[in-house]
Amino acid sequence: MKVLVATEKPFAAAAVNGIKAEIEAAGNELALLEKYTEKAQLLDAVKDADALIIRSDKVDAEVLDAAKQLKIVVRAGAGYDNIDLAAATAHNVVAENTPGQNANAVAELVFGLLVFAVRNFYNGKAGTELMGKKLGILAFGNVGRNVARIAKGFGMDVYAYDAFCPAEVIEKAGVHAVANQEALFETCDVVSLHIPATPETKQSINYALVGKMKKGGILVNTARKEVINEPELLKLMAEREDLKFVTDIMPDANADFQKFEGRYFSTPKKMGAQTAEANTNAGIAAAKQINAFFKDGDTKFQVNK
């Protein structure tokens, strides 16, 4: 079987070597399309692929139409909003993700962004510390749980809300569960977003919600840009000169946010999962899932059931 790794933002070399070894050990063949700049390159490369490994690369109906042999696509990572699941199902293609594999990398970056923010982006002026501050985690999945673990090391007081995770599970992890997301924003000095981009969450981080934060509040986004209502956050930050916003996903309105000098920072390109360890973990998990699918019909991680 031919397995294509198509990554506009490539994996670390060690991860690619690991994926290749895994795929070949199972008697499958690896093809590589990295740093492609045109969709046409992807459409051409998928023509004879039986399986596809991607990152945030978009797999829509057009890609699936071109991929006549495709049986499985694995998103090496957590969020699969870049795959058109209905189109995958219509094309009889199994879609999977690799949950948890890059969670620690994303969680560590949250603290990279946070220390940078509370120390005034290293401008030389006195900042504040994280110890003793209240951290709110919005969604207690794999990344949220790693954020909670690291936050405790910083001596933070940790709160979480997850619409799909029972309060008992959150409390069992030594984290205060709150009743809803409004309470999380009201209670916490810092709120870190770990929700996926779904029809329910898109644009949900809005003026009313972030406006509930106390003076000096910090919003951290390492999830998806689509969950932020950008015009409303811009309006709020213009009114509330105390608020800071740090993000690993550059907003569409980056130029407007940049006007809030000293209160806004975005990485130039999503860096959360961009570590050798995360690439290796997620890439090899994807390769193993593909091998298991071809060998035993295993679909444990299927997201378009």
Instruction: List residues binding ligand 3PG (CB under 6 A).
Output: 9, 55-56, 77-79, 102, 270, 272-274
Residue 138 and residue 193 in contact, taking contact as beta carbons nearer than 8 Å: yes
Round to whole Å and give the CA distance between 188 and 198: 24
Minimum distance from CB of 140 to ligand 3PG (Å)?
16
Residue 130 and residue 184 in contact, taking contact as beta carbons nearer than 8 Å: no
Question: Which strands, in side-by-side order, build the sheet including 244-247?
Answer: 176-177, 157-161, 134-138, 190-193, 218-221, 244-247, 264-266
Minimum distance from CB of 269 to ligand 3PG (Å)?
9
Select 28 or 274, whichever has its Cβ closest to ligand 3PG: 274
Please report, in angstroms and rounded to a whole number, the separation of the first and last CA atoms in the chain.
Answer: 23
Ranked by CB distance to ligand 3PG, the top (closest) residue is: 77
Minimum distance from CB of 218 to ligand 3PG (Å)?
20
Minimum distance from CB of 247 to ligand 3PG (Å)?
12
Select 102 or 201, whichever has its Cβ closest to ligand 3PG: 102
Round to whole Å and give the CA distance between 143 and 145: 5
Select 35 or 215, whichever has its Cβ closest to ligand 3PG: 35
Select 104 or 291, whichever has its Cβ closest to ligand 3PG: 104
Round to whole Å and give the CA distance between 277 and 118: 27
Minimum distance from CB of 157 to ligand 3PG (Å)?
27
Select 217 or 272, whichever has its Cβ closest to ligand 3PG: 272
Residue 76 and residue 11 in contact, taking contact as beta carbons nearer than 8 Å: yes
Round to whole Å and give the CA distance between 264 and 247: 8
Select 189 or 248, whichever has its Cβ closest to ligand 3PG: 248
Minimum distance from CB of 284 to ligand 3PG (Å)?
14
